[in-house]
Every structure is written in C-alpha cells, then in structure tokens.
Chain A
Amino acid sequence: MRSPYAHAKIRRIDIKKAASMPGVLGVFTGRQMKDAGFGPIPCAWVVPGSNTKTPPYPPIAIDTVRYVGNAVAIVVARDRYQVRDAADAVDVDYEPLGVTVDAFRATQKGAPQLHGDVPDNICFHWHVTGGDVEAAFKSADVVVKERIINQRLIPNAMEPRASLAQYSSAAGEVTLWTTTQNPHITRFLLSLDTGIPEHKIRVIAPEVGGGFGSKIPHYPEESMVIFASKALNRPVKWTESRSENYRATIHGRDHIQEVEIAAKKDGTIVGLRAKVWANLGAYLSTASTGIPTILHGLMLSGAYKIPNIHEDVYGVFTNTTPVDAYRGAGRPEATFLVERMVDLLARKLKMDPAELRRKNLIPPFKDGYTVATGLVYDTGNYEAALDKALKMADYKGLRKQQADMRAKGQYLGIGFCTYAEICGLGPSQVAGAVGFGGGLWESAIVRFHPSGKVNVMVGISPHGQGEETTFAQIVASELGVAVEDVEVLHGDTDQTPMGWGTYGSRSTAVGSGALMGAIQKIKDKSKIVTAHLLEASPDDIEYADGKFFVRGSPGKFKTIQDVALMANVAWNYPKGLEPGLEASAFFDPPNFVYPFGAHIAVVQVDAETGEVTLKRYIAVDDCGRVINPMIVEGQVHGGIAQGVGQALWEGAVYDDDGQLLTGSMMDYALPKAAFFPKFELAMTETPTSVNPLGVKGIGETGTIASTPAVYNAVADALAPLGVERINMPLTPERVWRAIRDAKRS
C-alpha cells in the first residue's frame, strides 16, 4: 500500500484489521523490514567532486513518506483481490508536512525540507568547465539567453514491473524473477541491501516488456518480495498496476535550465554556459545522479565546435517520484538545450538555421575529436548527414512552400536538429572515474554443441532491442552456421556470464565486442582442430565462408559443424588441446561511441486552435556499421515517436500538494500511431574504431533528436507571429496562448 500524501509523518500504522482479513498471509511495515536486516536501497552512482548527499532510501517508508506512491506497508494474501481489500484496511495516521515539487523552488528559502541532512534540498552541485567562458562572453558580438523547461516524463513500458521471489530457507538462496534491464546489477545491489550473499541470489529477467531505462534501477519492491518470501517461507509475487507504474516507477528528465550562448556576428559560436536545476524526486534512484551530470553536462558541445563551456548543475530533492534514466537519459536534456540555443542564435542573427549549424559543425574526423568538456568523440562526419537530410527534405522547396502558405495565413514550420550523442557505455575505467558503482564491460560465451548448433550466453539483457536476432546474425555470418541454429540466452544470472546489462545504447556497441572476442577464439581453436584432421599445420589453415581450409587448397576443408562434432567427442583430436568448442570473452571498450545525425521536422500549426500537426519527419542517422537494417529502423521509429511525444503531448503534472494530475493513460498523452506521418529515414555509415564491428548505438538517437527538431519546427512556424517561447509539451492551449500573448504585446 502506498502513501496518498506527498510529504507526511507517519504517526501510527495499524495493521490489525488488514491482517485478519480473508486470505491475508502477512502485513508488514518498514520497521519490520528494517528489523529483519533489510537495508536502504543503494544509490549506485555518486559523482566525484559534487558533494553528493545520499540520504537513506528505505524500501518501505519508516516514519516519513516523501512522495505520493511511497510504499507504506506490504500486504501479502492468496489472491490479488484479497490483497487490495486488505491494503484498503491498513489504517495509517498521517501528519501532513509541507510539500515542494519544483526543482528551483525547492532550493529557495522557506521551502519544505525533505531530508534532515540535505540543506535547501540540494543533493549535489556539480559543474563542468572547458576553456575560458568569461572571456568568450566578453569577446562575443551577440549573446542569447533562454530559460528552458525540459519537462518531466513518465516512462510507459508496455509491461509494468513485476517481481517474484522464492526464498529457500534450507539453502539460504533466493531466486528473483524481475522485470529488469540488468539482472547482474540487480543481483549485485540486492546482495548489498538484503544481506543475502551474491552467489546465493539468482536473478531471472524473462522476456521483459520494454524498459526505456525505467527498469535499470534496483527497486524497493524487489527487496520487499524477497523479505516477504523469507518471512512467510513461500513464493511472493508483486505485479505493478498501471496506476502504480505512474507513481512508483521512476520518471525522466525534469530540468530547469538557464542558458546563454555567445557568438560572433558571422555566427561562429564562442561560448555556452548554463545553470541547471535537475529534479531528482524524493530519493536517489540507482543511477539518478549520473544522468544530469555525466550524461548531460559533458555533452553540451553537441555536434559543434564550442570552445568554451561552463555548466553548473544542482541536483534537487522534491516530493515527487524519483527521477532516473529515461530513453536518452541526460542527452535529450543536453541536445534540446544546445539545439534550441543554436536556433535562437540563428533567429537573432537572421541566419538560416541549417547554415548556422553547418558553420559550427565539427568537421569530419576519424581519429577522435576533443570537445571543451573533455570528451573525445570517436568518429564523425556531421555535415554529410545534414546535406543528405536537406536533400531529402527538398529544403529550398520547403522554404518556398512555407512562404506561399504564410501569404495565405497558414503556418508551416521547419525544424532542425543536428546531434551527436554519447552511448555504448562505456570504458570501465571512465565509469569508475565518474563515480558509477560498477563496470561497463561486456561478456559472451559461444558454445557449440556436438550437432553444430550454438548457444550464445551474454551479459547484456535485451528487452525489445532485438539482440537475440542481431547477435545470432553475427555468429551466423562470422562462423558459417545457419541463423536459426543459434540461440542467444540472456537475462538469467545463473545461465549467463557477468555483464552490466542493456541501457545507454550499449548492448551491440559493447556486447558485440565480447561476442567477436569469443568468435575469434572459436576460430582459432577450430583451426587447430582442422589442422589435426587434415594433417596440416595450424598456421596453414585459413577461414572463409564457413570453411576452414588449407591455404592454397580450398577443396581441403572442414566446416565449423565438422569441427564442433570432433571437438565435442574428441575421438581424433590434437594432443594437449582441451576438448569442447566453447569460448568465453570479455570486452571493455577503449572509448564510448558517438552516433550522430541530422533530423528535420515539418509541422503545420493551426493558429486559431493551437493544434500542431506533424506533416513530415526526415531522419538521417549514423550509427556506424549497420548489422540489421530493419532493427535499426525499428529503433529509430520508436525513438522518434517518443521524442515527438515530449515535444507535443507528454508531461507529468503535479499540483502544489504533490498529487500527480497526469496519473493515468486517460490524462498523460502518449503518442499514438495515428499522430504521425510516415517517417523518411536514411543512414550514413561512419564506422567507429572503438569496437571490432565498427558499430555505434541507435537505441536512443531518435528520442534525443526529435524533441528539439519538432520544437524548433513549431517555433519556426510561429516566428512570423512573434512567438518567442512556449514550454513543452506544445499543447494547443499553450500554443494558442503564446500566439495571443505575442499579438497583444
């Protein structure tokens, strides 16, 4: 059962009535869970140099609730009807406290304080500096300022969360089936807060119905079901309702940004500075502090040469649902900031937004480009993507159409986003240096069975991204087996090697590196076995198109299936060579990968009703080498839809009492297929040298790029009406008001 108050003292909890209701097996409070040795939910990312406060995050509130949806008690019963009835019967006496929901206002004098040891609700203050920003702004011909609200979003995976724990008191072991994107991280964190040693915990993430980052965190409910299973000595399952999903699963974004961009008259950008208040919600979720800092602040150069950058970020506690990674996680907040400022600069300088971008884009590079924030981008050819998008859009024709329509009082808008983003997380040493509490390498095992069929076990945990297909394809094409002969296993800590999971568009970018390592070992061993069978020297064996053959005699060969059989039976086998055909590899990339692209949105605005219609959407993306075009397209499609959702429809709204007004799908407007035109997609291919296949991530690019592209398009449409700023989402009323206010002033 969950708190209906956003902030309150718990004076008393009476569980007696609930405990006596039909079918009820147990009712537990936070105190009981604590007394049983279950600790607070750990925060797994503390950014160095930010003076981060980590107040305890008890899985069940003990004496204070801090957001609507905060767990207050657990009711376990035989069926869910009994659970719900009994939960309604738990009697809690609350003493309401002051509520603060806005990240800026929460830092101001007199704001209610959430945690005793966190003055002004400021969890951390982090900053990034590159170059000399003060000097840059002094020397600039033009400075543009803007206050940007990157509003709070609510992730809506198709499947809400669920956790089922089965504790064995005899073995002291627990098996947890849970909807996670990273079962090994969940296991690791559970070993810290449940007191059960890591080797006695098995985490199984069966086919998980989407996550978008919202299933990265280790959630209180995972500890709760383990606690309840242990207490009741029986399996205990919890399934989230959609209403709970809106309140108890993490939210995303929620930045207030004050930004300035400085440039020369000719449009050369010389500096960017920003102050950001990032809403963290009531408690620190697993990766929460890294999102508005490392994954946001370090990306403020975007795709541009910006020699001087400074950003201050304040992480702020408020009486709202905890905020963590949501598709793009930090990069949408950075990209929107940069792309919006570049557009405002173009408007101020009366320059074409595409040309201003072209002027400032980082020129093509193959061996790394260091931006002011210190990151080293891997490879890029940004202008090529922009040119391709402009051509696909028929940019000149569009501008003419826009002029013709304006003459008739119709408002067409063309919006750009030329982005670069950081993903493929990432080198483990960097992870450690920036305070992430884990590694970021990947692992893979390739196991050939006697019949030549293959199991691949991986540490990543795809939940809709399609690596079951992509990885099978890689194995098939590298080793000469049919794709249907490869089964990729993931999402079970007992069946798969250690790995760090699926998020940050890392699964193929990092995971395929491990897979390629294992494939190479299989090839190397197969050459030795082939050499023995063909009575040749291993050095003379080559591999091509599924055959291991003696150099110069392609007719003398063994297939991988031949080798698999012999390696597994080992009847006729090289002396000293281990039997079996199985290889395990780990891969820690030397750098992140930086996909990029150019997106163009075309919108029409009904100036009377404020309604925005997306007319066209052109996306040119570059994720390095493409393994499966259909999967890449699918990722881009979904990503664009999600990003457009932020621009036009989605936004969590809390009232001043901390009640979530957009608490269901009846109020929170998720994009629907009918809202979109056919997307016009194309790729450029600039491979990375960071991993063996030259691949970059594509899972988040659409979301990162489409929000600013669509926003900029609406702003472009409304430019002749004098509209300067509208906060997202650009709902009809907001657009209408902006037009009306511009007319009045």
Chain B
Amino acid sequence: MIPAAFEYHRPKNIAEALKLLKTVKGARLLAGGHSLLPAMKLRLASPAALIDIGRIKELSGIKSAKDGLQIGAMTTHAAIAASDAVRKICPVLSETAGNIGDMQVRNRGTIGGSIAHADPAADYPTLMLLLGAKFTATGPKGKREISADDFFVDLFTTALKPGEILTSIHVPAESAAVYLKHRHPASSFAVVGVAALISAKNGKCNRAGIVVGGVTAIPVRAEAAEKALTGQAVNESNIERAAAAVAEAIKKPLSDSYASGEFRTHLATVMTRRALTQAAAKAR
C-alpha cells in the first residue's frame, strides 16, 4: 500500500490549475482522493504528478437558482447531503449523497471527482443522467457545457478533453425522483443503481425517467421502459410492464465474482419496479 514517487502541486485557483495541467508532465487531477489514491497505493496508477484541486475555494459550494442547483465540482458528498438548498430543490440528490460510501468517504469525496472518474459503480452518474444535469468544463480555451447524456463515454472515460477540468455541475430542480441501489456488501459501491422519476397528471404518466447504473460500463437510459409507461395510467401493472422492458437497454452487462451480468440485469428490473412504485407515490 505504498504509492510510487510523485510530484505534488496545490494550485490556489482554476487558472493556476489549468496552467499546471498544461505544463506538468504526466499529471493527474486530485479531488477528494477516494478513488485515485487507493489505485496509487496499489500501484494500479502511478501518475508522475498530482494537481490537488480539492482546496480551490471557487470550486466548492452550492448555489440555488430558479431552475435548479449550481454545484462546485469540489463540493463534498457530506456538504451536498447536508445542504438545505439541495434538500429543497432536489431531495433525491441529498439522499443519494448521504448514502455514498461511509462517513469518511462522504467527508472527503467530491461530486466532481466522482463524476469525472466515471466509475460504473458510482451513484452520481446514474442520477445525473436521469436529472439531465449539465457539466461545465473549463479548459485553456475557456468554458464549455457538456450534458450528462454526452459526458459518460465508457468505463472510467468521459468527454473531458486533456487540459480540461470539470468545474461545476448544474442539477435541475426535481422533487419526484428516486434513487435505489444494491450495495456491494464489501465496498458499499452500487452493484446496481436505479434512478427513476414519474410526472403524472390525473393519474396518467406524462413523463417517465429510468436510468440504470452499475450494470453496464456507463449508466444507461432505459428508453423502451420509459416509453412503455409514458402516456399510460400510473398503476401496478403498467409499472411492472415498464420495468420488464429495462433489460432491453442493457447490452454487455458487467460481471464479477459477486454478481453476474445476468443477475445485475435481473436486479435492475426488480429495482426499477420498486423505484417507479416509489416515484409514483411522490408524483401523486
């Protein structure tokens, strides 16, 4: 559990961080350190340098806007879980943040670090996709916005370009979403995470959202399942039917000694039904 030697830089602001990212060879950004440092200790990662952006003040904080929340990338899970604004504007985000890992992880880990790491077993990516979050990337040429739909490219791979830093996350207001996860008993990571929402009028679903994480390399929107419910009455049998369609969205499920792809897919179906049932109750 001893990392190889590396340089350590701690920029004071985004501009300085961008400059270091451009000039320091083999550098990686360090946020809360809860994914990268363990990998380094096991020597699965040996970056020549770390640029610690975890203490840049302008990268941390939660601002509420009319249409949602603007969250600095270096805001910790604990801060998100404890934020009144988050609780009011997007309660599912507060709950999700409060159930990540354990206390130590929540006090150090950051939303931006988790999203940029793009671990399939992480919770935020799934939820961000459901909520239609937008990510601000800051690079040498300035800022650009990337939608959650476009952000997650593959296992641990995102649309961020070399030299870019994920600086901020915009999360739309949403009161009827639900996030459920099946935790790995050892790591507490999501073996399967399901994020779902229903908006309904007069008992009829006018919008359904279903995203499944943990099962595939990146979280996936279950479009067939969403379609199956949209326009239908929100009831048990329609929810069941929609959930059964989740498997259609799952191609090449992940598999390990704890849970096979087949079981993950099955769990995704069951958990979707449960998540939709809870979401339906909120939508009423």
Q: A interface vs B, CB < 8 Å?
A: 80-81, 83-85, 88, 241-243, 608-609, 611, 649, 653, 661-662, 665-670, 672, 675, 731-733, 736-737
Chain B residues with CB under 8 Å of A675's CB are 185
Contact A666 B186 (CB under 8 A): yes
Stretch at the interface among B158-166, B228-236, B252-260: B252-260
Q: Which 4 A/B pairs are nearest by Cβ-Cβ distance?
A: A669-B185, A669-B186, A733-B263, A84-B2
Asked if A665 and B186 make an inter-chain contact with CB atoms under 8 angstroms apart, the answer reads: yes
**A80, A241, A666: residue with the most chain B Cβ atoms closer than 10 Å:** A666
Contact of A736 among B1, B43, B258, B263 (CB under 8 A): B263
In contact, A609 and B182 (Cβ under 8 angstroms): yes
In the complex, chain A residues whose CB is within 8 Å of the CB of B258: 667, 669, 731, 733
Check if B42 sits within 8 Å of A243, measured CB to CB. Answer: yes
- In the complex, the answer to whether B182 meets A732 with C-beta atoms within 8 Å is yes
Given contacts A80-B2, A243-B42, contact A733 B185 (CB under 8 A): no
Flag if B42 contacts A733 (CB, 8 Å): no
Chain A residues, Cβ within 8 Å of B186: 649, 665-670
* C-alpha spacing A88/B4, complex, angstroms: 10
Task: Enumerate chain B residues within 8 angstroms of A666, measured Cβ to Cβ.
Answer: 186-187
CB-CB under 8 A from A653, the residues of chain B are 257
The complex places the Cα of A666 from the Cα of B42 at a distance, in Å, of 12
| Cβ contact within 8 Å between B43 and A608 | no
Chain A's nearest CB lies how many Å from the CB of B62? 28
A733 touches B259 (CB 8 A): yes
* Residue pair A609, B184 in contact (C-beta under 8 Å): no
B41-77: which residues lie under 8 A (CB-CB) from chain A? 42-43
> Are A661's CB and B2's CB within 8 A?
no
Residues of chain B within 8 A of A669, CB atoms compared: 184-186, 258
Total CB contacts across the A-B interface at under 8 A: 58
Give the interface size bracket for B toward A: 20 to 34
Task: Give chain A nearest CB distance to B98 CB in angstroms.
Answer: 14
Q: Distance in Å from the Cβ of B32 to the closest Cβ of chain A? A: 17
Q: Do A242 and B1 have beta carbons less than 8 Å apart?
A: yes
Output the residue of B185, B263, B271 with the most chain A CB within 10 A: B185
Residues of A within 8 A of B185 (CB): 649, 669, 672, 675, 731
Query: How distant is A638 from chain B, measured CB to nearest CB, in Å?
Result: 18
Interface string of B175-206 (1 = CB under 8 A from A): 00000001011110000000000000000000
Question: Can you list 19 A-B contacts with CB-CB less than 8 angstroms, sorted by A residue number?
Answer: A81-B2, A81-B5, A83-B2, A85-B5, A88-B4, A243-B1, A609-B182, A609-B271, A611-B182, A653-B257, A666-B187, A667-B257, A668-B186, A669-B258, A670-B186, A731-B258, A732-B182, A733-B259, A736-B263
Whether B266 is near chain A, meaning CB under 8 Å from some CB there, is yes
Residues in B with CB closer than 8 Å to A732 are: 182, 259, 263, 267
Tell me, in angstroms, the Cα distance from A81 to B258 when the chains sit together: 33
* B105 interfacial contact with A, CB 8 Å: no
Residue from B2, B5, B270 in contact with A609 in the complex, judged by beta carbons closer than 8 Å: B270
Q: Which residue of B lies closest to A666 (CB)?
A: B187
CB distance from B194 to the nearest CB of A (A): 12
| Chain A residues in 8 Å Cβ range of B271 | 609
CB nearest to A81 among chain B residues: B2
Who on chain B is nearest to A651 by CB? B257
Q: Which of B186, B259, B266 has the most CB of A within 10 A?
A: B186
Query: Quick one: which of A84, A609, A737 contacts B267, CB cutoff 8 A?
Result: A609
Nearest B residue to A611 by beta-carbon distance?
B182
Collect the chain A residues with CB atoms within 8 Å of residue B2's CB. Answer: 80-81, 83-84, 241
Contact B257 A661, beta carbon cutoff 8 Å: yes
The complex places the Cα of A494 from the Cα of B272 at a distance, in Å, of 65
